[in-house]
A and B are shown apart, each in its own frame.
Chain A
Amino acid sequence: MPSIDDVTNTPDELTDDDAEALLEDADLVQDMTGEVCPYPQVEAKKGLQKLEAGELLVQETDHVPCTENVPRAVGDDAEAQVWRSGDATYRIYLRKQA
């Protein structure tokens, strides 16, 4: 059966203001700049294992594919949102699900 994932494959994008506000709210921030796949995926999974449901993990990255690969890698474990600076840096917001 075709799933919704076949149609939409990018996570929601955050506005600049929301991205700033949420970053202050983060329970764990991982600096992934200078990293390449698949290490951010692996670190995101490890980071989420440390968090409780409802807590927020933020990854800062400059690796373009991560904005899609990291949300995919954590799957149903977290709800993902992405912020693009427009200047080749990105943040991935992962809220751990119950």
Chain B
Amino acid sequence: MVATLLVAAVVGLALGAFLQKGRFCFVNAFRDFFAYKDSRVTKGVLAATFLTMIFWGIAYQFGYYQGFWTPNWGLTGLVGGFIFGVGMTYAGGCASGTLYRAGEGYLQFWLTLLFMGVGYAGFTVAFPTLERTYFEPLTFGEGVSLFTVTSVPAGLVGLAVAGAGLLVYATLVGRSSTGAAFGERADVAQFTPSTLSAPVVGLRGFAHGTTAYVRGLVRAWRHPIDASKQPWDPRTAALGITAAAAVLWFTQVSIVGVTGPEARWTGYLLSQVGVDAGAFEYWGSILFQGQGVGVTVDMVMIAFVIVGAFLAALWSGDFALRVPKRRRLPNAVVGGLMMGAGSRLAPGCNIGNIYSGIAELSVHSFIASIGIVAGVYVMTHWIYREVGCAI
């Protein structure tokens, strides 16, 4: 038990620090891509997900894992994911982003966390009704991870899907850059020959970008103290998160989720002030699985994410108690409520579904990720309605 708690502390601290240093935020990753085609954080998210996918495939194949998280699939993922996506874009931080910003000293995001808690509690109270009227009609099939159903070794499946993802990414990037080359540099004598196909151009760009990134990393190592205080490339965060979450946490404990443990925290904290949380079906038999309402190891890990982000922010000179503008309070209240409720309705947040869920090739998480990204898309267009979006 002590060893597991130690792992939880180490993983939590590392995740918090890497999230803070890399400003690793899923809202940022999708919102800024839609609003003005900024793909820096998007690349980090993709890198983390695909790297984790490869590691989990290999770990599963050789038996070094504790279990997958594969909820039944259906339209709930789409509905809950959409609500969660709208909520996190309005709140200005995803489930993990809210945690690390709480550690950076944003009172705004502590308020968001509080109202996420209200969302979890409200959902729990409504759960018996929702089970009949929402989950039963909208659930179509048993949850499954594609790693477990093919006869192909899971490590290869992970590599193949990650490779296919990279190829799609390269094609998209390659196509847009050859298009730009024709549009903007028609007067330059030597431009990209049209025979060069988009995937090749994209892969070349990927190789070039990765080399430049590694060179930058090597340069940063020469002045480790200075570099540690500067903001880090989101890809560095991706590598660190993969090491902590994929390798350590997955082989020792489970996949990574944020809102599940938070919903447990809500039940636990309410039980501390006299509420019989265990009597509610959702807390008692689903979240705490009949083990009694107490502190579980993933709850400890999530708490340490806040501590890790706090320490990293303090070290970088980024920590301060930040008082929100009054006109931002609805973002925390409404955004938090939608994140809390949406993450239970799906179920799962951006970490459970986009990061962990896609990395473990869970059918439910593919559907929920579509819902989340659609929610971000709609809400981004609403927030940018006066100045316009690029995509």
A residues in contact (CB < 8 Å) with B: 1-2, 6-7, 9-10, 33-39, 41-42, 45-46, 49, 62-65, 67-69, 72-73, 75, 84, 86-89
Q: How far is A38 from B93 in the complex, measured between Cα atoms in Å?
A: 10
Q: How far is A68 from B275 in the complex, measured between Cα atoms in Å?
A: 45
- The A-B contact count (CB < 8 A) is 103
Cβ distance B206 to chain A, nearest Cβ, rounded Å: 9
Q: How far is A10 from B40 in the complex, measured between Cα atoms in Å?
A: 11
Q: Considering only CB atoms, which chain A residue lies closest to B32 in the complex?
A: A69
- Chain A interface, DSSP helix/strand/loop, else mixed: loop
B318 and A64 within 8 A (CB): yes
Which residues of the other chain, A, contact B212 by a CB distance below 8 angstroms? 2, 6-7
Q: Considering only CB atoms, which chain A residue lies closest to B383 in the complex?
A: A38
Stretch of B8-16, B120-128, B323-331 that contacts chain A: B323-331
Interface residues on B, range: 35 or more
B319 and A88 within 8 A (CB): yes
Using A35-B325, A38-B92, A64-B23 as known contacts, say yes or no to A73 and B35 having CB atoms under 8 A apart.
Answer: yes
Q: Which of chain B's residues 207-240 have a Cβ closer than 8 Å to chain A?
A: 208-209, 212, 216, 231, 233
Q: How far is A63 from B205 in the complex, measured between Cα atoms in Å?
A: 32
Which residues of the other chain, B, contact A2 by a CB distance below 8 angstroms? 204-205, 208-209, 212
Which residues of the other chain, A, contact B106 by a CB distance below 8 angstroms? 36
Closest 3 CB pairs of A and B: A88-B320, A36-B92, A34-B325
Binary interface encoding of chain B residues 157-196 relative to chain A, with 1 for a CB under 8 A from any of its CBs, else 0: 0000000000000000000010011000000000010000
Q: Considering only CB atoms, which chain A residue lies closest to B206 in the complex?
A: A2
Q: How far is A64 from B106 in the complex, measured between Cα atoms in Å?
A: 11
Binary interface encoding of chain B residues 102-135 relative to chain A, with 1 for a CB under 8 A from any of its CBs, else 0: 0011101000000000000000000000000000
Q: How far is A36 from B106 in the complex, measured between Cα atoms in Å?
A: 10
Q: Considering only CB atoms, which chain B residue lies closest to A49 in the complex?
A: B387
Q: Which of chain B's residues 371-391 have a Cβ closer than 8 Å to chain A?
A: 380, 383-384, 386-387
Cβ distance B203 to chain A, nearest Cβ, rounded Å: 12
B23 and A88 within 8 A (CB): no
Which residues of the other chain, A, contact B64 by a CB distance below 8 angstroms? none
B317 and A84 within 8 A (CB): yes
